[in-house]
Chain A
Amino acid sequence: MSDTQSHSAILADRLEGWNRPTAIVPQNEGELLEVAMGPHHPSTHGVFRMDVALDGERVIRLRPVFGYLHRNHEKIAEGISYLASMPYTDRLDYICPITNNWAYALAVEKLTGQAVPERAEYLRVILGELTRYQNHASSIGFLIQEMGASGTPLMYAYREREKILDLFEELTGARMMVNYMRFGGCRVDASQGWLERTRKVVAGLAGFADEFDRLLSTNEILMARTQGVGVLRPELAVNAGVTGPMLRASSVNYDIRKVDGYGIYSRFNFRVPLGDHGDVYDRYMIRVLEMRESIKILEQALKEIQPGPVMDPKAKIRGLRPKAGEAYGRIEAPKGELGFYLISDGGPNPYRYRVRPPSLINLTVLEDMCLGVNVADVVLIFGSVDIVLGEVDR
């Protein structure tokens, strides 16, 4: 099939149309104003730069620039053992270290064929859903902060997040960089007292979600600023590899917890909320609804968890040398699909270690959503994508 004519015909077919953003014609005369938003910027969720070309207030062109937080995680992982990469995965999406650990442990367990005991799976689900709750709470908090709410919803979200972080610290020893999952289970078992305290915290989470709803969801300023802004069409979302709440807000029903059913998620009864319009308001509402679904999963898991081992006693932690092969393990992280692709050559270090970063790939459509809108809306749209630079740049 090396016919050059059909090759270029395919390219011509796909380079126009909905695969690339349509150009916006500037209205006024004169040059475009080129502004670099970032990297030193209070609203860019980290060190991130957007080179926008403006016609007055409207965005004509937007180019994101990354790499300010590039720490070469993938190359470091090729030089250290599998166990030693685990604390580095904490630092990828630093707001949700548990899910990063889980995705990496899942990939290595696929590579080695390691089974995980049941109590460890329940603990993983409990911690994973707590992480999802606090991530959505802080993500909404930051979005509203960028809208000008001066931190009140953010601080309410952080008040709940503190309770969850206290639980993490009690169990794993650190609030954020938990280093908790191991290949074949979890590092430490949770005591009965910890489970009781978790049940108490979970009982209060529903009240906070209600408070958030009452505070924000019918707020006229929020609705006026976010409804109809930054619309993402479902076909473009799927084609651009967008995953997570952003995809579900564009009414595409794809949640890896339901599709792959990794771990024991098939045992829990929860729904997948879908948005209708794909705008910023839908992404906000999806996150609130997912917080409520997380509470449902937490209640079920805390009821069903049974005593038992949390680590397979024959599982090798130190000196793990998986047989040669490759595996791709992915989970539904709070930001999207977080995947780890590992190629092993039989040695103690991985031959290739790749992180599939949901935040970076969700940013593919940033330019599409931001063309023709005002600069103030760019900040909102960017905030609704919910990225974290540790993951984008690794």
Chain B
Amino acid sequence: MKTVEEIKSAIEAAVPGAPVEIAPNPNPALPHSLRVAPECALAVAKFLRDDEELKLDFLSNVTGVDWPESLEAVYHLYSVEKKHGPVIIRMHTVNRTDQVELPSLTPIWRSAEFQEREIFDLYGIVFTGHPDLRRLLMWEGFKDHPMRKDYREPDDFEYEPTAHDEVLKRAQANQAVAAGQKESGAGA
């Protein structure tokens, strides 16, 4: 299979004007990935799937990642016909708060259907062009996005006998509040 640099030049040759850059893996012994701009992601994906040499017809894994400035979707591509891979492409959103759209690659690879729904559910990335974007694991009507780093679980501890760290602090705060309420209730 081609190296990452060769794939990058092939993409730039076939889809002109597509900003593609190599995102190096911090560990240089492991495979590097290609960072694709969201505007031309569909065209790049179509090229990767249909190109005669690459023939990456199998999308193995779609992952959402929460970075401090943006959200990211990482796609692992393999080829069943040529038995090579992986080719890793990534897309970043503009920011984490209001501009969280990315194009959905479900029209190209159907296996992204449930995985992109899961990323929408757990991270909040809105995939435009997805045929059926609903929550997957959390129930409909659930408000927040649980896998984000700043997600705060609801305070509904019933019984935490061996609490540690964060849970301990919140359990103690809850107990203090409950004791205060009982006192004021008894007094009033």
Contact = CB atoms under 8 A, between A and B. Distances in A.
Contact of A327 (B30, B40, B112): B30
A339 B17 contact: no
B61 A323 contact: no
A14 interface: yes
A251 B155 CA distance: 51
Contacts of A19: 107, 110
B113 A364 contact: yes
B63 A323 contact: no
A156 interface: no
Interface stretch (A70-78, A171-179, A202-210): A70-78
A10 B23 CA distance: 27
A360 B17 CA distance: 36
A199 interface: no
Contacts of A111: 27, 30
Contact of A238 (B16, B58, B131, B137): B58
B100 interface: no
Interface in B163-178: none
B83 A259 contact: yes
A361 B115 contact: yes
Interface in A1-34: 1-2, 6-7, 10-11, 13-15, 19-20
Contacts of A228: none
Interface residues of A, number: 51
A324 interface: yes
Given A7-B42, A66-B137, A252-B80, A113 B29 contact: yes
A60 B146 CA distance: 34
Interface string B66-104: 100000001010001001001010000000000000010
B61 A356 contact: yes
Contact of B74 (A6, A110, A341): A341
Interface in A344-376: 351-352, 354, 356, 360-361, 363-365
Nearest to A330: B60
Interface secondary structure of A, over-half rule: mixed
A88 interface: no
A343 B111 CA distance: 22
B43 interface: yes
Residue picked from A1, A324, A360, most chain B C-beta under 10 Å: A1
B147 A75 contact: yes
B146 A10 contact: no
Contacts, number: 123
A114 B137 CA distance: 34
A72 B83 CA distance: 33
A1 B15 contact: yes
B26 A14 contact: no
Nearest to A1: B40
Contact of B25 (A236, A252, A325, A339): A325
B125 interface: no
Contacts of A66: 136-137
B17 A72 contact: no
A272 to B, nearest CB: 12
Given A11-B107, A14-B107, A67-B137, A341 B27 contact: no
Contacts of A236: 110
Given A1-B17, A111-B30, A341 B110 contact: no
B64 to A, nearest CB: 8
B57 to A, nearest CB: 5
Contacts of B103: 7
Nearest to A339: B61
A110 B30 contact: yes
B63 A10 contact: no
Contacts of A386: none
Contacts of B27: 111, 322-327
A75 B146 contact: yes
A129 interface: no
A192 interface: no
A111 to B, nearest CB: 7
Contact of A354 (B29, B39, B63, B129): B63
14 contacts: A10-B107, A11-B107, A14-B108, A67-B138, A70-B137, A75-B146, A239-B57, A241-B59, A241-B109, A254-B80, A325-B29, A328-B61, A343-B65, A354-B63
